[in-house]
Amino acid sequence: MRKTQIEKLMEQEKERDFFCVVSDAFRLFARRSSIILGSAWAFAGAVLVILVWILTGPTFHFSDTWQLIINTATTIVTFLMVFLIQNTQNRDAKAVHLKLDEIIRALKGARNELVDLEELSDEDLKKLEQQFQRIRKKAEHDGNHAHAEPPELC
């Protein structure tokens, strides 16, 4: 029985390694793709493809097949780009959150409860937003921008 557990653990380790390799490869691919596909050259290339498609319209008598080519191509490209964009946005957002968390932790007087706000529920975020609005209004009413009472987090 012990041998079976060890074999299972070794198999899980191999699977984890495979998924880590795939994840790292996708991360690198998504990062490089976002740099390339977000460039002016990529936009110019897309415009060129559309112009070629439009100019070939009369040759193909604006047929259904001619229209299907551009519809299919743009659908496939859009579908794939969604994953690349989401991956890069998730990574960028996470990096920004970590940087802000580090600033909050480093500043004296900063409330460490504000670290990891992205983990709060929508309801808790709404309550916190309302508390900050009250603090801002109170500061505007008092004529100063000094720190008011910190809002309580759930």
Separation between Cα atoms, residue 49 and residue 73, nearest integer Å: 11
Mean pLDDT of 64-90: 93
pLDDT score of 150 more than 60: no
Whether 30 and 45 map to the same domain: the answer is yes
Would the pLDDT of 26 be above 80? Answer: yes
Residues 85 and 147 in one domain: no
Look up residue 54 and give its two tokens: 């439009």
Tell whether the model's pLDDT for residue 95 goes beyond 70.
yes
76 and 144 part of one domain: no
Residues 140 and 115 in one domain: no
Does 129 lie in the same domain as 54?
no
Q: Clarify whether residues 80 and 21 are in a common domain.
A: yes
Q: Is residue 57 within 8 Å of residue 66, measured between CB atoms?
A: yes
Render 51-87 in DSSP notation, one character per residue. Answer: HHHHHHTTTTTT-HHHHHHHHHHHHHHHHHHHHHHHH
Say whether both 105 and 130 belong to one domain. Answer: no
Mean pLDDT of the chain: 85
E-state strands within the chain: none
Domain residues for the domain of 81 are: 2-119
